Structure 1
Amino acid sequence: MKKQISYYSPKLLLLNSIMIIVFSLMMMNFNTMILIEWELFNMSMMKISFPIMVDYKGCLFSFIVLFISFNVMMFSINYMEMDKKNNLFTSIVLLFILSMNMLIFIPHMGFLLLGWDGLGIISFVLVIYYMNNKSLSAGFITAFTNRIGDILLLLSIGLTIYISNWIIINMWYMDIYEFKYQIMFILVASMTKSAQLPFSSWLPAAMAAPTPVSALVHSSTLVTAGVFLVLRFYLFLSKNNYFFLMMMLISILTLYMAGISASMEWDMKKIIALSTLSQLGLMMFMVSMMVPDIAYMHMVIHAMFKALLFICAGTLISNYIHSQDLRWMGNISLKLPISSVGMIVSIMAMCGMPFMSSFYTKEPMLEFSLFYINYMNLIILSYLSIGITSYYGMRFMMLLIWSMNLSTPFMNFIEKKHSVVSMSFMISVSIIIGMFLIWLILSKDNIVCLNIYMSFIPVVLMFIGLGFSFFMNYFNKKIIYSFQNFNNKMWFIYPLMSQLNLKLFMNHSKLYLENIDQAMLENYSGEGLYMKFKNLNSYYIYFNFSPMLMAMLMFFLMLIYLLIF
């Protein structure tokens, strides 16, 4: 059974991904959308139905989820081969993939929670998979933050109950003044899932999960659920004038904070996690500039190259005896050639190298920012954040490929068969998917006409970041420690969202335990009263079966009576 689940699940995922990409291209060709609805309950004005919405964007993103899952499961055959619970691990990951597909295809706010809450619960189970203190702490932060989003989504469902219709398509055309609180709740719920400020602390902490899980969580499933929710509700949310300004401020700050924090890190998986946080901020920034198609394209492209980056990182971790410290690694191009090529392709795509996949989304995004942003300081901050992305990406690549290897010389470096197949698939798709999407999705209305000098700004900015990475490589030790500590802790968001909240809950729990549970409830509950009656009964039995004691007691009572009267 173990071999059946772990060895045949990649084949099933690949078959489903091929079927759904064919269906997506058909939907795109005919420009249609299919809504399938099953009526579950109908009484008076209350109607509850289970809908499934099939459109080309949902099918294309489902293909990305399934294709990445196929490659991740192929990689996990080698990575998790020594794990005794491999059967359980594979089953949980398949449930995780199912939850994401439910979120994609169900356009009903009530049933949407099946996928939304399923992602949160299963991610908690996967984060605590290794069962140690670090994993449990990371799992608590992940569950606590995602539970905030679940509560807000439930509140928005409750506030919409009087219209007796929770289908997203119907909400696109509703009056904005009746749904201002729903807009706020949906926006904040998406921020918790996509780790925008101030809910960013859980995303690097989720690195405690196994690397195949990290590849799924940080590429196409959990972190993109919030962005996908905003894109689904875009026509509804965009009616609020403050929606774009609020999202723009939060996304730029998230983008800048994640970039600065990644520039100070030495943990390989944490750098990749912070780069994911940076790209999520970039996606939200694109949505705030009213270009949801470009945001969707970047979400798809980012999922591909980030999954490739995690698979390459997992190969390095397994070869370096599960060490994640970049200072011990180096010169991997001779020892792990396929992983080196995957690293270079994914990092160049992340930096926006011309004619790599993300160049086709970052370049128009920076051009659109000159037209749609009226605040010069926000434009400068957004351009600076893109430059920082190039800096930490190049720093990451320098430490892995061009620096000296400081590990023991007796290590055996090997790229196993399933890992090589997985990386080869991902490298090929990561290179071509950008041009493929810009042909299919981007319309002529999204083209911006700029002069030749302004068009070169994104490219120049990227090369400035690359040059700065070479410069800072020699002056890194002179950085002020307090500034480095401030950025390593993500502007102190991590302690504020974890230890402070935990201490607050622990103090309240202690007061409850001492004053109620161990005081009133312990003494006056069923067990407490039982013990009191039991003690009284024991006293009665003791006195009843002690004639000498009873005689002495009667003698003293009679003596007291004679003395008094």
Structure 2
Amino acid sequence: MLSVCKIYFGLFLFFSFSLFLLSLNFLALDYCLILEYELLSLNSSSIEMTILLDWMSILFMSFVLFISSMVIYYSYEYMSGDLFISRFILLVVMFVLSMMFLIISPNLISILLGWDGLGLVSYCLVIYYQNVKSFNAGMLTALSNRIGDVALLMSIAWMLNYGSWNYIYYLEFMKNDFCMQLISWMVVLAAMTKSAQIPFSSWLPAAMAAPTPVSSLVHSSTLVTAGVYLLIRFNYSFSDSLMMFLLFISSMTMFMSGLGANFEFDLKKIIALSTLSQLGLMMSILALGDYSLAFFHLLTHALFKALLFMCAGNIIHNLGNCQDIRFMGGLMNHMPLTCTFFNICNFSLCGLPFLSGFYSKDLIVEFMSMSWLNIYIYMIFYISVGLTVCYSFRLTYYALTGDFNYLSLTGMSETGMVMLKGMGGLIILVVFSGSMLSWLIFPTPFFICLPILLKIMTLIMILFGICIGYEMSKFKINYSLHSLNNLTLSSYFAMMWNMPVLSTLGVNYYPVLMGEIYTKVFDQGWLEYYGGKNLNYSLGKFSSFLQVFSGNHLKVYFMMMLIWITFLSLNFYF
């Protein structure tokens, strides 16, 4: 068990550092490599596997491998009670390899393989604990993602018009072509399902049924970022109307999830909604026309979000699998190092100056302030920044300060050195990666020219968010099903604007009910008789009749000969 963890941890860490150095080389030389490997050649047709290596794909792979190496190391202790930990580690490795496949593909077919690999393995990981809640969450995750898979399949079909599936050659050249615009819309739909934008958002908090190390990997650098990464690759072909549509959807997602996180009490769901908010931020800056900023925030966010989930996992582990933040409190006295890591990640998420999140988030908001935009986008960006600080401060207030609200006899301690080492591997990058990446990716700095009020607007919203978060911490919300309070605005916000109801009950309960009414009132069994059942019976009888012929071919041959002679003699006679 330990050997499997150590092997993959060492391998991933080695490849991560190697790829990071390689990406620096590619970035310095502005170098791009496309490798074509011929798998099969038949007559004049050949099937080739194409691999795209540029600084972006190599750097992203390096980050994914580094985070997954730390998660695998962390899992050794977190999942130590599991009898099948080697199976769990292998599932995580398959998950990471699917993501690698997606990152290096400039071809829609090979992207689909990585894309579907992510979908299938994520289903196996979400249902890992095998209870009703996990099964429901897994099904919701898988079916939501199937919509995007279908959109990707349709874009593959439309791309047949170009004679190749290597989309990378056609993006700018065929930008104004109808087929390319259609393919772009399909790709945006696929990315919206994978990155959980409105109206496909409800699967993301549901996927929290997976073990915490999986949540740490899924919500930082793999599954949910696949959609954003695909859009970064496709961004050259987007029309103005498509970008406006994407901007509206992503800004609404950012606002909705930030609002919902303020009314949530499940520790992992709060962090999941925070991921959703950051995905909305990445998508919206991409829709504003700067894909490099979206990629920059993608990398910095991956680091602090992975560590945030690891800290949450350590807290849940010590609390005997309790995830409700109302049962926490005063954790800084019991788990000082974990709480320190947790706070640093929260500050980085809020965009506190000179931590990694600040460099990407502040730049994104200032870039948005420089653009020619309406007041709606301007307001929603700053409100969302404020809401991020608001739910982060609320979470800190509930979990880390005050009195300990769990069982009196709970012995909490930080004895898990393996988990702490896994988390310690990430904390250095959480603090320093923002400045390091901004110097690497943008050797020429962005020129931002704003009046002093707009320049410090982000800091104003951070302070404003802290005040609101502190006030909201005092609210007591009753979620009991029998109370009238269930109809209030707060429960509406907490339920992500009723999206889980619409995307689960709305799409399965009512169609099944309609089917029952139709069967009882209209059909009454006739469709069964004229449909599958009777067809099965008829085909069975016909095949058994044919089997008589095939089993007695000598008799049949003589009989046919007799009939043929009779026919000839009758013909001759008449």
State the Cα RMSD in Å.
Answer: 2.2
SS at match of 1:444: coil
Q: What is the distance in 2 between the residues matched to 1:163 and 1:215?
A: 39
Aligned to 1:473: 473
Q: Give unmatched runs, 5+ long, in structure 1.
A: 532-565
Q: Give unmatched runs, 5+ long, in structure 2.
A: 480-484, 542-574
Whether 1:486 and 2:492 are equivalent positions in the alignment is yes
- Structure 1, residues 47-70: CA drift from partner, whole Å, max 9, x if none? 542111111111111111111101
Aligned length: 528
Whether 1:461 and 2:467 are equivalent positions in the alignment is no
Aligned to 2:213: 212
Aligned-residue sequence identity (percent) comes to 34
Q: What is the distance in 1 between the residues matched to 2:78 and 2:331?
A: 19
The range that moved more, 491-500 or 510-519, is 510-519
Aligned to 1:37: 36
Aligned to 2:86: 87
8 Å CA contact 1:256–1:381 kept in 2: the answer is yes
Aligned to 1:503: 509
Instruction: Decide whether aligned partners of structure 1 residues 523 and 359 sit closer, same or farther in structure 2, where only a CA change above 3 A counts.
Output: closer
Q: What is the distance in 2 between the residues matched to 1:38 and 1:337?
A: 52
Q: What is the distance in 2 between the residues matched to 1:408 and 1:523?
A: 59
Whether 1:202 and 2:203 are equivalent positions in the alignment is yes
Instruction: Decide whether aligned partners of structure 1 residues 527 and 184 sit closer, same or farther in structure 2, where only a CA change above 3 A counts.
Output: same
SS at match of 1:81: coil
Q: What is the distance in 1 between the residues matched to 2:468 and 2:162?
A: 56
Aligned to 1:310: 309
Alignment of 1:183-332 (within 5 A): 183-237=184-238, 240-332=239-331
Whether 1:177 and 2:177 are equivalent positions in the alignment is yes
Which AA in structure 2 matches 1:436? M
Aligned to 1:554: none
8 Å CA contact 1:332–1:400 kept in 2: the answer is yes
Q: Name the TM-score, length of structure 1 as normaliser.
A: 0.89
- Structure 1, residues 410-453: CA drift from partner, whole Å, max 9, x if none? 22223311111011111111000000011011253632122323
- Structure 1, residues 120-146: CA drift from partner, whole Å, max 9, x if none? 111011111111111111111101110
8 Å CA contact 1:46–1:164 kept in 2: the answer is no
Aligned to 1:168: 167
Which AA in structure 2 matches 1:422? G
- The alpha-carbon deviation at position 516 of structure 1 amounts to 6.6
Instruction: Decide whether aligned partners of structure 1 residues 152 and 526 sit closer, same or farther in structure 2, where only a CA change above 3 A counts.
Output: closer
Aligned to 1:405: 404
- Structure 1, residues 464-518: CA drift from partner, whole Å, max 9, x if none? 1011112222345599651121112110111111122122453476567974785
Instruction: Decide whether aligned partners of structure 1 residues 354 and 529 sit closer, same or farther in structure 2, where only a CA change above 3 A counts.
Output: closer
- The alpha-carbon deviation at position 17 of structure 1 amounts to 1.0
- Structure 1, residues 225-252: CA drift from partner, whole Å, max 9, x if none? 0000000111122xx1112211110111
Instruction: Decide whether aligned partners of structure 1 residues 453 and 158 sit closer, same or farther in structure 2, where only a CA change above 3 A counts.
Output: same
Q: Name the TM-score, length of structure 2 as normaliser.
A: 0.88
Instruction: Decide whether aligned partners of structure 1 residues 444 and 503 sit closer, same or farther in structure 2, where only a CA change above 3 A counts.
Output: same
Q: What is the distance in 2 between the residues matched to 1:318 and 1:162?
A: 54
Whether 1:147 and 2:146 are equivalent positions in the alignment is yes
Aligned to 2:116: 117
Q: What is the distance in 1 between the residues matched to 2:24 and 2:525?
A: 64
Which AA in structure 1 matches 2:534? Y
- Structure 1, residues 274-310: CA drift from partner, whole Å, max 9, x if none? 0000000000011112121111110001000000000
Instruction: Decide whether aligned partners of structure 1 residues 402 and 521 sit closer, same or farther in structure 2, where only a CA change above 3 A counts.
Output: same
Whether 1:389 and 2:391 are equivalent positions in the alignment is no
- The alpha-carbon deviation at position 363 of structure 1 amounts to 1.3
Aligned to 2:534: 524
SS at match of 1:37: strand
